[in-house]
Amino acid sequence: MKSFASLLAFPASSLAGTVLWSGIFNSSATVEDFDDWSWSNQIEPWQWYIHGTGKTSDYLGLSTDFKNPADTSDAQGVRISIDGTSFWNGQTMERSELIPQTKADLGSGHLYYHFSLSTKTTNAPDASFEHQIAFFESHFTELQYGLASGASGSSDNTLRWNAGGQTHWSVQLEAGNWYNFAYDIDFDAKTVGLWASNGSDPLTQVVAPVSASTSSNSADWHVGELRLPNGGPNDAVEDWFWSGIYVEEAPITKEIGSGSSSSSSSSSSSVSSASSSASSTAHTSAAQTVISTAEPLIVSAVATSSASSTVAAVTSTVSPSVNTEAATPATSSSVALATPTTATEILDDIRALFSALVSRPTGVHARDFARRE
């Protein structure tokens, strides 16, 4: 069974670390694809079972409007919503959460858990309720929003990052702003730190690593929201928007997409960091081809019209050996590529691929491409 997030837009810059798992979405992914996952059909890259009694489309949505516009690695972002039907498995808390589906080890070594998060004024989160966001099962680190259970007052618009049950970083949540995060987790050293930025700004370290009981079985990072009743019911719909979700080994990748688009980061609720440089322009034409591999991850070939030369097709596999034998379109093991639909998308794809290839002397990166099984 193939993964529905099988081929993604190429990032305009090379990544620093090796990506172990990617949860970003291509242009052909649909909400219905999430329902293909089940305990008897555990297809990558997402588990989808923690939600309410409504349709999947009540809790999840995919759209270009839902992503950080600065992040060119994502074709679509995901809306994860909670409402008065979001009670799961008889619990009294409301939950809508995705969990990585992977065979990779996401619980050892020095890893960075990346994601971007945003809200809007429509279906805004309720600041009078506690929210647990992007948390691990043991809650050794997580984001929280709203009035904490047992705290005084009637509401709290604070988005805070906790480690070991203590708040180490916080900001006032601003609708429309994209908050970029990377959890800096050293599972061996038992420490966790935080990198953050806004919009298109590169990540900067905002909290140096602190001690924490770091642990993960590679299937317990909850990407989504848990809303606690906090003294009363809440049936209102809340929308949270996510993009750029992936896990990489150290060193950290600081850049967010190409930096060609950005959201406002001038308000007091924004994280200060240096602006990312604009991507260079290129005029290219593309031809895509299909390569057969034992476990295919990526296939692409590019011809640049300005130089009248061709960048050879590149294939990455899970195993050390690489099979570059071309397959015909009728071959059952061939990998179907997502086709750009506009001239802008074609140019963006080719510029990004060319940059990724020429900037890495050792080849391509796992997150430059997503896996199809």
Where does the pLDDT of residue 319 fall: very low under 50, low under 70, confident under 90, or very high at 90 and above?
Answer: very low
Establish if 217 belongs to a structural domain. yes
Beta strand 60-63 pairing with 46-50: unpaired
As a whole number, mean pLDDT of residues 290-302 equals 30
Q: Which domain holds residue 69?
A: 20-249
Q: What percent of the chain has pLDDT over 90?
A: 60
What is the predicted pLDDT for the residue at 17? 81
Between 89 and 301, where is the model more confident?
A: 89
- Assigned domain for 69 exists: yes
Amino acid 229: pLDDT: 82
- pLDDT surpasses 90 at 87: yes
Q: In the chain, where do the E strands start and end?
A: 19-22, 46-50, 60-63, 77-82, 94-100, 110-118, 131-136, 141-145, 158-163, 166-172, 179-186, 191-198, 204-211, 221-227, 238-249, 285-286, 302-304, 309-311
| Structural domain count of the chain | 1
Q: Give the tens place of pLDDT for each residue, 51-81.
A: 999 999 999 999 999 999 999 889 999 999 9
**In the structure, what pLDDT confidence band is assigned to residue 351 with cuts at 50, 70 and 90?**
low
Question: What is the mean predicted confidence (pLDDT) over 102-124?
Answer: 98
Here the CATH number for the domain that contains residue 89 is 2.60.120.1160
